[in-house]
Amino acid sequence: MPSKAQKNMEIYLDNSATTKCLDEVVSLMDKIYLSEYGNPSSMHTKGVEAEKYLRNAKETIARNLRVLPKEIYFTSGGTESDNLALIGTAMANRRFGNHLITTKIEHPAVLQTMRYLEEQGFRVTYLPVDQYGVISLNDLKKAVCRETIMVSIMHTNNEIGALQPVAEAAALVKSMKPSVVFHVDAVQGYGKFRIYPKKMGIDLMSVSGHKIHGPKGVGFLYVSERVKITPIFWGGGQQNGMRSGTENVPGIAGMAEAVRLIYQNLDRDVERLYRLKQRFVKGLEAFDKVKINGHTGYDSAPHIVNVSFLGVRAQVLLNELSERGIYVSAGSACAAHKHTDSQTLTALGLKQEYMDAAVRFSFSIYTTEEEIDRTLEALAEVLPTLRRYTRK
C-alpha cells in the first residue's frame, strides 16, 4: 500500500489530455469575466472593449503562425475545429470530387467525422502507418486521384507522439493536384513545434487552447483565404458568418495569452521536455517486459511516451498509480470512456496483450526531473506485485 507521503504527492503526467492553465492566463480571464464582460457584438463601450480582445487575439495568433488575422476563426476547441474543417470543406467542394484521404491514427474528432462524411456519400482512404506510427509518402501518392478534394493528416499523434511528414505530404499532394485542400490537426503539435501553414502548404489547421496551458472549451481554426468552406453553424453571423455564436471572449483572450507565453521560450522548454523524455525512457529500459510504442528521440513529440507493461492491464496500473497521486492515462482521453481498442495501437499492428497493457505518460513545462524519478520508483515498486496477481 502507498504510504501517507506517497498519497499526498501529486504528479500530473496526463498533459496530452489537458494542461494546467498558466497563472497569467487565469488572471487575464478573471479580469475579463469580472470587469470587461461585454458582448463583442454590442455597440456600446463594453462591447467595444470585448471586441478589442478578439482583435488582439487574432493578431497574436496570426503573428505566431505568420498568417493573416482574417484567416483565424475561434471555436470551442479542437473537435469543433476538425468538424468545421472537414465537413465545411467537403460540402463546399463536393461538386469537384468526393474523395478524401486521412490516416488510420487520427484523433476520433477526425476519424468519426470522416465516417459521417462516408455516410453522406464521400469516399475515404485511410492511410496505414509503419510500426512507429508514421505514414508512407508513397502510399499517399498512390491514394491521390482525380476525385480527391481534401487530405487530412495530423501533425503529432496524441497517443504515441508520432510525427507525420506534414510539409512533405502537402508538397506532394499539391504537386499532383494543386486544388486539393490540405488539413492538419495540430492539437498536440502546436505549442511544441514552430508551425507556419503558408510555408508548409497547410490550408486548414486545428488547435485547442487547453493543450497549451490555456483554458478548456476554446480553440481556433486557421483557414487559408484561398479555401472555400461552408459554415456548419448558423445564427447571428459572427466571425464573418463562418462560426455563428457569441464569442467566448475570456477563453479566446486566455488562449492567445497562452500562445504568447508558450512561444516566448519555446526552444528552451522543448529541449528540456526532450531531456525529461530521455530520462524517463532510460529508466523504463531497465524494467523487464516493457515495450515502448513509437519513436523516442527527436523524431517524436517531446512530451509523449507510450509504453506497454506486459502482464499488467493498463487500467489496473493506472488505478494503482492514481492511488499514489501519479496521474497518467490509457490512450486518448476523448476515446477512453468507450472502452474500445486504440485505433493508433491497432494500426501499429500491436498484439492484443500489448494494447491491453499500454499506458501514456505525457509531460509539460511544469514537469520536473524529481517527478520523473519518483514515477520510475513507483513503477519499480508496483509492477512486480501487479504481475504476481495478474490472472493467467
DSSP string, 6-65: HHH--EE-BTTT--PPPHHHHHHHHHHHHT----TT-SSHHHHHHHHHHHHHHHHHHHHH
More confident residue, 341 or 258: 258
- Helix, strand, or coil here: 110? helix
> Whose CA is closest to 28, among 236, 256, 308?
256
pLDDT of residue 9: 74
Q: Alpha-carbon distance 270 to 303, whole Å?
A: 8
Give the domain-ending residue among 242, 264, 286: 264
Cα radius of gyration (the chain): 22
Give the domain-ending residue among 264, 279, 314: 264
DSSP-derived secondary structure for 230-285? --S--SS-TGGGTS-S---HHHHHHHHHHHHHHHHTHHHHHHHHHHHHHHHHHHHT
pLDDT of residue 338: 53
202/318 same-domain check = no
67/129 same-domain check = yes
What domain range includes position 169?
23-264
Number of domains in the chain: 2
Q: How confident is the model at residue 391 (pLDDT cuts 50, 70, 90)?
A: low
pLDDT of residue 339: 54
95/200 same-domain check = yes
pLDDT in tens, 198-229: 999 999 999 999 999 999 999 999 999 999 99
- Helix, strand, or coil here: 222? strand
294/350 same-domain check = yes
223/290 same-domain check = no
Q: What is the mean pLDDT of residues 151-161?
A: 98
27/42 same-domain check = yes
All cell numbers assigned to 318: 493506472
DSSP class of residue 173 equals H
**Among the ranges given (87-96, 252-261, 323-332, 372-381), the one the predictor scored with the smallest mean pLDDT:** 323-332
237/273 same-domain check = no
Q: What is the dihedral of CA 72, 75, 77, 82, to 10 degrees?
A: -70
195/48 same-domain check = yes
What CATH number has the domain bearing residue 327? 3.90.1150.10
All cell numbers assigned to 186: 495540430
Catalytic annotation, pick one of 334, 336, 376, 386: 334
The gap between the terminal CA atoms of the chain, to the nearest Å, is 23
Give the domain-ending residue among 209, 240, 264: 264
pLDDT value at 74 more than 50? yes
All cell numbers assigned to 134: 508514421
Asked if residue 21 lies in contact with residue 214, where contact means CB atoms within 8 angstroms, the answer is yes
Known catalytic residue: 21? no
pLDDT value at 129 more than 80? yes
Residue 303 burial (C-beta neighbours within 10 Å; 0-12, 13-18, 19+): buried
pLDDT in tens, 277-333: 999 999 999 999 999 999 999 999 999 999 999 999 999 999 999 999 999 998 655
171/279 same-domain check = no
pLDDT value at 16 more than 90? yes
208/313 same-domain check = no
Asked if residue 142 lies in contact with residue 173, where contact means CB atoms within 8 angstroms, the answer is no
Q: What is the mean pLDDT of residues 331-357?
A: 79
Contacts 24+ apart (CB under 8 A), 330-334: 330/358, 330/359, 330/360, 331/159, 331/358, 331/360, 332/107, 332/108, 332/158, 332/159, 333/14, 333/16, 333/17, 333/18, 334/79, 334/107, 334/108, 334/109
98/136 same-domain check = yes
Share of the chain above pLDDT 70, in %: 95
What CATH number has the domain bearing residue 93? 3.40.640.10
289/154 same-domain check = no
Mean pLDDT value across the chain: 94
pLDDT value at 1 more than 80? no
pLDDT value at 6 more than 90? no
Q: Alpha-carbon distance 64 to 291, whole Å?
A: 37
Q: Alpha-carbon distance 386 to 319, whole Å?
A: 11
Kindly report the pTM of this predicted structure: 0.94
